[in-house]
Every structure is written in structure tokens, then in C-alpha cells.
């Protein structure tokens, strides 16, 4: 039982039903057929064609053994491949061997970080990437991929380090477009989108791969200057632990932290979505172990860093897959291709891989999310757009950092300037906000004030200034101030010092300060922070009504 707790895949095998095998077998073969062109495409994007295929074998087995999801399919994805292409490839300075070493090192580092986080029960860290940041990043990644693949689809070259520079360099050369390459790339893109729309059970990437292969072979399209994949070495990956220098490790650490957070966040979003649809629960910390082991194994087997794929998971579900055994079968299919069928991929045109990647990038886009963010709150849309522009103009890592910093600034602003209200008494004797309960009427000479945030150093002066302004602007002289503390869930020493000063100032003007409805922890902190009171005098009461009755009695 203890081993099954750490290796949920063993429990799946122990309780596996024979009736599931035909469904998992069909889904696994379908998925394996999809993983080959997709793995090649992501490998090409990262600058390491074989790494995409290597990352589609052993990592699936590791995730099957350690993860809690019954359906999620992991492997190289657009975000991870783009991170390697944009953030890691420049470190290799054109050396393929060094790029392979850095890519494998990144996979191992991402795996170790996720494993440590899982063992320390840090699954909650996925929540630190806010929804606007994820939306902006995914659309930014989509633009990065599309621009990076346009040279393959158009048959021309681009230059520049950032996505914006690469796009602007393409514009003057559009007249040199290879129309045959454009037809292949656009056709692959169209086939995939049409399959998604009208025949979701049909793997569009496989159809595009086979169609473009046949077109090159039957029509001799290579004589028109069409670039092909060429020879792919036969065989399975060797298991090698990468040995980077300390300088390499230092350069990759920030990239690995961002990639680990993105990989886990993406996996959790996908796992929770499919778990909710099929009525089971996900263990976030177990998912950290699963995605960590998958990345570790991918790095050791010279594959790309990996993440969950909602599109490939949807392929398995549409094909009738029941368990993670479908992923195991898919990994075997990829291994069979690598052992005996790589020669069939020689004539695969690069433009077709570009079309497959552009279709994958298009799948990342959900423009309705921008409208949803705008309807919810305009500042949320601003966070998504800041992240998107940062990714496109500055780079992937810089875009993520910019989005996270923007989100943290919004969080600090919300804490520093929280909502508040002057409460009135309803005919039933309750104290409510008149903005929502018009029958609530403020009591002359009495200020009942609600502050909806923790009271700490960043907003304590705002609290004080707001009460002083309300007292000064009251129509009748105020004799007592009652604070509704229901929403104040924490208080620090700076806030307690402020309350001492505020209480002293109000007393000097004959105004009593009292608190009602405080949480136990906040009550203890405030009582410790305020000076000793005369015998029989209290400042904190169980309810707002009790505090009002006490100050009015005095």
C-alpha cells in the first residue's frame, strides 16, 4: 500500500480491467501516430529534432508511474520548446552538441525542482501564476511560434533575436516566398484545423504528415527548393546524466525555475479540467512528483523539457482511452518508429512541420479569454496584455517576469487600498453597507466603519486617515467610532502602534474607539498591542451591535 501511494501507476495496473485494453490499445496507437510528427515539430522548433521524439517515450512511462491523473498525456509542448529555442539556444552559440547538453540539463533541473517541491508539499505554488499572466503568456508563446515557423512555411530567411525583430525582418522578403512551400505549410495547417473542427477523432497532424510526404515523393517537389527533414538516426536514446559546468548551471537556474512553474501550472490546469469532466480528484503534490520524474527522465534520455498537453490528452479521450496505459502504448509506438521506420520520415518537408507547429500555436489561442478578462475587470486584461507584449518584444523569460511583477503590484495595490464602507443600522438591528442595503441608515454621532483587508504597515496609515476624514466630515459631532473587524484577518505591530496613536487622539477629543466582530487571533494581537485599559472598560466586543451598545451606554 505504501509503494502504491507513491507510485499510483502500480495501483492502476493492479486493478486494471481486461475490458479496458481494446480501448487503451486503440487510443495508444492513435496517440503514438500523433506524437511522431508533433515530437519532430517541437524538436525542430527547439533546434534539436530528435529531442522532441526522445521526450515522447520514457517520460510518458515515468508520468504513468508517479502521477495521479488517469488521462493526462505529457510530452514536449509549444511552451517548453519555445523556452529552449529562445532562452537556451543562444547560450549554445550555434554548437548543436552544447545545445543538446544544455537542453538535457534544463530537463534534469526542472525535474529536480518539481520533485523537491512535491516532497515538500508545495503544490500550492501553481496558484502564483495568475490567470491573466497565463493567458497573456500562452498567446505570446503562440505568436513566438508562428513567427519562428513563418520562414519554413514561406521558404525565406529571417533575422533578429526577439520575435518582433524576426517578424519585421520577414516583411521586406515576402516577395521571395516559395509558393510550393507555402502551399504545403498552409495545407498542413488547414488539414489540422479542419480535422479539429469536423472530425476530432481523426489525428490531423498524422494526415498532414502523410499527405505532405506523398506530395514530395510523387510530385518530386524537392526540385522546387523544398527543404526536407533528411536522415534521422535510428535507435533509442542513450541514458546519460548531463554534466554541465557551474557557469551553465548558474545561467540555466532562472530558466529552470520559470519552466518548472509553467510546466506544473499547465499540468495542473489540464489535469483538473479532465478530472472534473470525468469525476475524480487530482493530488497536486503527486502531480509535482509525476511531472518532476517525467522531466528528470526526459533530461537523462536527451529529450526536451516536458509538460502536459491538453490537445494530445483530448486525442486519447476522443479515441476512447480509459487509463494511462494508453500513454504507455503510445510510447512503445514512438519507440517502434525510432527503431525501424525513421527512413520513412526522410522526405518530410520542413514546411509541413512548420504548418503543424502553427496549428499547434493556433490551438493555444482563445481570444474569448481576453473578452472574459475585460468583462470581469479591466485591470485583469491589462495584466494579460502586459505579459503578451513582454513575451513578444522582450522574450519569454522577460515576459513572464513582467507579468508576475505586474500581478504582484496589483496585489499589493489591492492590499494597500482595500474597499471600506460606513455602515448603517437596518430596522432589524443589523449593521450593513447602505450601498447594498438602502434600508441601513447611519446613526448620527456614531461612526461604524468596515475595513476589508488585513491591517498592516502598508495600509495602516490609510485606515487612520480614512477614519479621521470621516470624523471631521460628519454632519454631527462623532462621539464614538466602532470598527467592524469581520474582514480584518490579520494585524501586525505597525498597525497596533497606529491604533494606539489613533485611540489616544480620539480620546483627547472625547471620542471612544471600539472593535466588534474581531477574529480570535486579531483580537489577541490588538489587546496585546493597545495599552492597559481601566478596570471594567473594554475596547473589543463579540459583535458590532455589542460594541455599539457599549459605547452608547457610556
The answer on 160 and 48 residing in a single domain is yes
Burial bucket for residue 453 (CB in 10 Å: 0-12, 13-18, 19+): buried
The predicted model gives 488-501 an average pLDDT of: 90
Give rounded-to-5 percent helix, strand, coil for the chain.
Answer: 65, 5, 25
Give the helix/strand (H/E) hosting 368.
helix 368-376
Give the closest residue to 510 by CA, choosing from 542, 477, 461. 477
Residues 424 and 351 in one domain: no
**pTM (two decimals):** 0.78
Q: Pick the more confident residue, 273 or 23.
A: 23
Is the domain of 142 the same as that of 282?
yes
Domain of 431, CATH number, reads 3.30.750.24
For residue 314, being part of any structural domain is answered with yes
pLDDT confidence bin for 538, thresholds 50/70/90:
confident
Name the 3-class secondary structure at 480: strand
Mean pLDDT estimate for the chain: 89
Q: How many domains does the chain have?
A: 2
pLDDT in tens, 299-322: 999 999 999 987 888 888 877 888
- On whether both 74 and 164 belong to a single domain, the answer is yes
Question: How far is the C-alpha of 309 from the C-alpha of 288, rounded, in Å?
Answer: 16
Ramachandran area for residue 230 (φ above 0: left; ψ -120 to 50: alpha; else beta): left
Identify the band that residue 4 occupies on the pLDDT scale cut at 50, 70 and 90: low
Same domain, 432 and 321: no
Handedness of CA 497, 503, 509, 515 (dihedral sign): positive
User: Per the domain annotation, does 403 fall within a domain?
Assistant: no
User: Does the pLDDT of residue 289 top 90, yes or no?
Assistant: yes
pLDDT in tens, 30-41: 899 899 999 999
DSSP state of 441: B
Number of H helices, E strands in the chain: 24, 9
The pLDDT tens digits of the residues spanning 208-253 come to 989 999 999 888 887 888 888 888 889 999 999 999 999 999 999 9
In a shared domain, residues 441 and 523: yes
Condensed to tens digits (0 to 9), the pLDDT of residues 170-184 reads 999 999 999 999 999
The secondary element (H helix, E strand) that includes residue 22 is helix 21-46
Question: From CA 430, how far away is CA 424, in angstroms rounded?
Answer: 8
- Residue 82 counted as domain residue: yes
Of the three residues 367, 395, 412, the one that is the final residue of a domain is 367
Identify whether 404 is part of a domain: no
**Beta-ladder partners of 512:** 480
**What is the pLDDT confidence band of residue 330, given thresholds at 50, 70 and 90?**
very high
| Residues 73 and 194 reside in one and the same domain | yes
* Same structural domain, 232 and 320: yes
Q: Which helix (H) or strand (E) holds 294?
A: helix 284-300
| Residue 437 domain boundaries | 420-553
Counting every residue, how long is the chain? 554
Q: Is residue 413 part of a domain?
A: no
Q: Is residue 444 a part of any domain in this protein?
A: yes
For residues 242 and 355, membership in a common domain is answered with: yes
Higher-scoring residue by pLDDT: 73, 138: 73
Same domain, 75 and 154: yes
Top pLDDT among 72 and 129 is at 72
pLDDT of residue 283: 86
pLDDT of residue 536: 57
pLDDT in tens, 71-108: 899 999 888 999 999 899 999 998 999 999 999 999 99
CA 552, CA 389: separation in Å to the nearest integer?
A: 57
Whether residue 226 is found in the same domain as residue 82: yes
Q: Are residues 352 and 434 in the same domain?
A: no
Output the CA–CA distances (angstroms, integers) from residue 110 to 86, 104, 125, 260, in the order listed: 17, 10, 15, 5
Q: What is the pLDDT of residues 352-383, one digit of tens each?
A: 999 998 988 888 788 888 999 999 888 889 98
Question: What is the average per-residue pLDDT within 447-467?
Answer: 93
Mean pLDDT, range 2-14, rounded to an integer: 79
Separation of alpha carbons 243 and 481, rounded Å: 66
Residue 498's pLDDT is 92
Amino acid at each position: 500500500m505504501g509503494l502504491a501511494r507513491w507510485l499510483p501507476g502500480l495501483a492502476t495496473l493492479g486493478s486494471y480491467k481486461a475490458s479496458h485494453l481494446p480501448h487503451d490499445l486503440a487510443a495508444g496507437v492513435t496517440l503514438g501516430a500523433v506524437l511522431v510528427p508533433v515530437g519532430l515539430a517541437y524538436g525542430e522548433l527547439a533546434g534539436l529534432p530528435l529531442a522532441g521524439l526522445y521526450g515522447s517515450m520514457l517520460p510518458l512511462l515515468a508520468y504513468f508511474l508517479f502521477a495521479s491523473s488517469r488521462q493526462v498525456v505529457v510530452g514536449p509542448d509549444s511552451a517548453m520548446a519555445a523556452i529552449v529555442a529562445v532562452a537556451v539556444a543562444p547560450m549554445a552559440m550555434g554548437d548543436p552538441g552544447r545545445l543538446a547538453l544544455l537542453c538535457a540539463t534544463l530537463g534534469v533541473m526542472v525535474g529536480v525542482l518539481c520533485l523537491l517541491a512535491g516532497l515538500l508539499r508545495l503544490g500550492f505554488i501553481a496558484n502564483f501564476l495568475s490567470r491573466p499572466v497565463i493567458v497573456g503568456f500562452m498567446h505570446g508563446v503562440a505568436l513566438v511560434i508562428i513567427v519562428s515557423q513563418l520562414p519554413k512555411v514561406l521558404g525565406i530567411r529571417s533575422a533578429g533575436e526577439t520575435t518582433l525583430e524576426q517578424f519585421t525582418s520577414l516583411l521586406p522578403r515576402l516577395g521571395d516566398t516559395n509558393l510550393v512551400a507555402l502551399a504545403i505549410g498552409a495545407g498542413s495547417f488547414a488539414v489540422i484545423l479542419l480535422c479539429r473542427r469536423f472530425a476530432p477523432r481523426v489525428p490531423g497532424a498524422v494526415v498532414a504528415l502523410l499527405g505532405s510526404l506523398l506530395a514530395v515523393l510523387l510530385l518530386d517537389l524537392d526540385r522546387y527548393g523544398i527543404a526536407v527533414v533528411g536522415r534521422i538516426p535510428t535507435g533509442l536514446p542513450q541514458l546519460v546524466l548531463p554534466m554541465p559546468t557551474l557557469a551553465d548551471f548558474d545561467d540555466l537556474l532562472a530558466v529552470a525555475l520559470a519552466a518548472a512553474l509553467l510546466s506544473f501550472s499547465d499540468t495542473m490546469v489540464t489535469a483538473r479540467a479532465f478530472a472534473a469532466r470525468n469525476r475524480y480528484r487530482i493530488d497536486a503534490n503527486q502531480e509535482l512528483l509525476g511531472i518532476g520524474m517525467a522531466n528528470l527522465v526526459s533530461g537523462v534520455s536527451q529529450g526536451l523539457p516536458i509538460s502536459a498537453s491538453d490537445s494530445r490528452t483530448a486525442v486519447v479521450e476522443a479515441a476512447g482511452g480509459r487509463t494511462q496505459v494508453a500513454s504507455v502504448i503510445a510510447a512503445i509506438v514512438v519507440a517502434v518508429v525510432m527503431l525501424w521506420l525513421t527512413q520513412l520520415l526522410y522526405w518530410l518537408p520542413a514546411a509541413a512541420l512548420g504548418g503543424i507547429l502553427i496549428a499547434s500555436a493556433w490551438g493555444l489561442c482563445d481570444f474569448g479569454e481576453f473578452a472574459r478578462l475585460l468583462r470581469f475587470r479591466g485591470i485583469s486584461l491589462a495584466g494579460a496584455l502586459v505579459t503578451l507584449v513582454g513575451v513578444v518584444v522582450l522574450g519569454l523569460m522577460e515576459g513572464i517576469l513582467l507579468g508576475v511583477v505586474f500581478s504582484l503590484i496589483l496585489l499589493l495595490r489591492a492590499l494597500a487600498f482595500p474597499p471600506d464602507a460606513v455602515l448603517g443600522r437596518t430596522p432589524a438591528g443589523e449593521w450593513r453597507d447602505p450601498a447594498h442595503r438602502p434600508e441601513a441608515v447611519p446613526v448620527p454621532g456614531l461612526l461604524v466603519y468596515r475595513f476589508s483587508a488585513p491591517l498592516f504597515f502598508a495600509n495602516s496609515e490609510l485606515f487612520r486617515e480614512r477614519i479621521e476624514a470621516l470624523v471631521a466630515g460628519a454632519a454631527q459631532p462623532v462621539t464614538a467610532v466602532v470598527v467592524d473587524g469581520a474582514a480584518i484577518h490579520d494585524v501586525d505591530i505597525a498597525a497596533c502602534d497606529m491604533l494606539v496613536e489613533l485611540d489616544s487622539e480620539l480620546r483627547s477629543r472625547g471620542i471612544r474607539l471600539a472593535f466588534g466582530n474581531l477574529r480570535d487571533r486579531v483580537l489577541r494581537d490588538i489587546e496585546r498591542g493597545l495599552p492597559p485599559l481601566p478596570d471594567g472598560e473594554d475596547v473589543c466586543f463579540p459583535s458590532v451591535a455589542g460594541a455599539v451598545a457599549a459605547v452608547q451606554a457610556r
